Amino acid sequence: MDKATYTYEALQQKYVNFITPALEVTIGSTTYSSREIPILNLEVELNADGSAGGCSFTVDSQYKAEASKWKNDFDKSVKAGAKLAVRGGYVKMEEIFYGYIDEYSFVYNGNEGPRIEITGIDGLGYLMSMREPLYAGQQQAKNLVEDILGKSVAKGYAKRATVGLLSGFQKLKTPIIKEQIDDWSFLNLLAQRYGASLFAVDGELIFDDVASDTKPLIKLAVGAGLRSFTKRVSLAHQVGRVEVWGRDVNQKPIKGTADTVTIGGAAEQSAAKLAPALQSAVLREYSEYARTQEECELIAQNRLNSIAMGLVSGEGACIGIPELIPGRYIEIDGLDSSTNGGYFISRVKHRFDSEGYSTTFEVKGAKTK
């Protein structure tokens, strides 16, 4: 995943004032440019919440009615499971999606003319179909996650996989068992257990604690790329403490608690600090995995942090920026002091249409000013 920090001014220079959007779509081994064929209403959605990312677009004006065939046999390259990559930008382009075609439609309409509608999904989509049971014994969780993500890499639906050194990977010793659940759902359960984010960016499948790295990807301000921004603060579902119960190897009850949010800025306040009455709001859960108090405490802390990330939410829109990805922080500037600051990017949408190239994004945070 891209760890760099960009300035709006540097990107403005790179893309020559963001003039003349352009994109390329690669299907299988063939690349098609928007300068050569009409690629309409292309949208790429990337998520850092465990959901698979996707891509959709329409190819128009490629059907030769007199010959009852598509130009250059374009229809022959559109196959379910074929590699799908999208590069977008301006005078320079960057890859903004990598995955495979999971659905397509040939649409024949006398009023509008034939067209092909194509939908793609990233490498996490393949794992939704993998349902083999797994009995991992004492295998380390990190190795297990790498093996599962590696399935998509091996099939060419992802380029690589990155698994972070998460707290607890070496500590939780409960045998890992997977039954009657697909690999994608199983990884989401593990992500919640270990406090990780599961997502895909540029063909890289990521299982890591990215929310703790608050280094901003970019700073945007009104007049410098930012077109709109909304910040929302809500106490809904917030708690002051999480208790996780389990049983040790002798079936004796054990408990771990967490009452301090450990992600977010040090100068900002969590929900329980904003509304002290929430300190008495306790969430109690039982874990089949925990066998020691330390394990209970680890799970409780990850659960509290996850809930806390719902305190702040928002969305924004900016000029099309290929470098904008989920799983990083964005700094908002030029607004009021309560709104300016860093936010975790949870979702990004890149869209190319008749109005040009635009990017929208959703954010969240565990603390606020």
248 neighbors 256 (Cβ within 8 angstroms) = no
**Contact partners, residue 256, CB within 8 Å, separation at least 6:** 243, 244, 290, 293, 294, 295, 296, 297, 298, 299, 300
Supply φ then ψ for residue 43, to 5 degrees: -135, 130
Of 83-87, 234-238, 265-269, 293-297, the poorest mean pLDDT is in 265-269
* pTM listed for this prediction: 0.93
When pLDDT is averaged across residues 209-216 and rounded to a whole number, the result is: 94
Residues 117-134 as b/e (b if ≥16 CB within 10 A, e otherwise) read: bbebbbbbbbbeeebeeb
Confidence at 133, pLDDT banded by 50, 70, 90: confident
Of 139-148, 198-207, 339-348, the poorest mean pLDDT is in 139-148
User: How buried is residue 26: exposed, middle or buried, by Cβ count under 10 Å (0-12/13-18/19+)?
Assistant: middle
When pLDDT is averaged across residues 218-238 and rounded to a whole number, the result is: 97
Of 124-138, 200-214, 247-261, the poorest mean pLDDT is in 124-138
When pLDDT is averaged across residues 47-70 and rounded to a whole number, the result is: 93
Residues 287-307 as b/e (b if ≥16 CB within 10 A, e otherwise) read: bebbbbeebbbbbbbbbbbbb
The domains found in the chain, sorted by start residue, are 8-126+212-231+311-365 (2.30.300.10), 127-210 (3.55.50), 235-308 (no CATH)
Tell whether the model's pLDDT for residue 32 goes beyond 80.
yes
38 neighbors 60 (Cβ within 8 angstroms) = yes
Structure tokens at 222: 């009104």
Confidence at 177, pLDDT banded by 50, 70, 90: confident
Tell whether the model's pLDDT for residue 170 goes beyond 90.
no
Structure tokens at 71: 């130009």
Confidence at 128, pLDDT banded by 50, 70, 90: very high
Q: What is the pLDDT of residues 246-267, one digit of tens each?
A: 999 899 999 999 999 999 877 7
DSSP string, 296-321: HHHHHHHHHHHHHTTSEEEEEEEE--
Q: What is the pLDDT of residue 180?
A: 84
Structure tokens at 205: 């499948």
Confidence at 109, pLDDT banded by 50, 70, 90: confident
Tell whether the model's pLDDT for residue 77 goes beyond 80.
yes
Tell whether the model's pLDDT for residue 134 goes beyond 90.
no
Supply φ then ψ for residue 353, to 5 degrees: -150, -165
Q: What is the pLDDT of residue 172?
A: 55
Q: What is the pLDDT of residues 269-319, one digit of tens each?
A: 999 999 999 999 999 999 988 888 998 999 999 999 999 999 999 999 999
Local structure of 165: helix, strand or coil: coil
Of 119-133, 223-237, 261-275, 351-365, the poorest mean pLDDT is in 261-275
What percentage of residues in the chain have a pLDDT greater than 90? 81
Mean pLDDT of the chain: 93
When pLDDT is averaged across residues 339-351 and rounded to a whole number, the result is: 97
- Higher pLDDT: 63 or 102? It is 102
- Higher pLDDT: 194 or 360? It is 360
When pLDDT is averaged across residues 145-171 and rounded to a whole number, the result is: 89
Q: What is the pLDDT of residue 171?
A: 57
Tell whether the model's pLDDT for residue 173 goes beyond 60.
no
Tell whether the model's pLDDT for residue 149 goes beyond 80.
yes
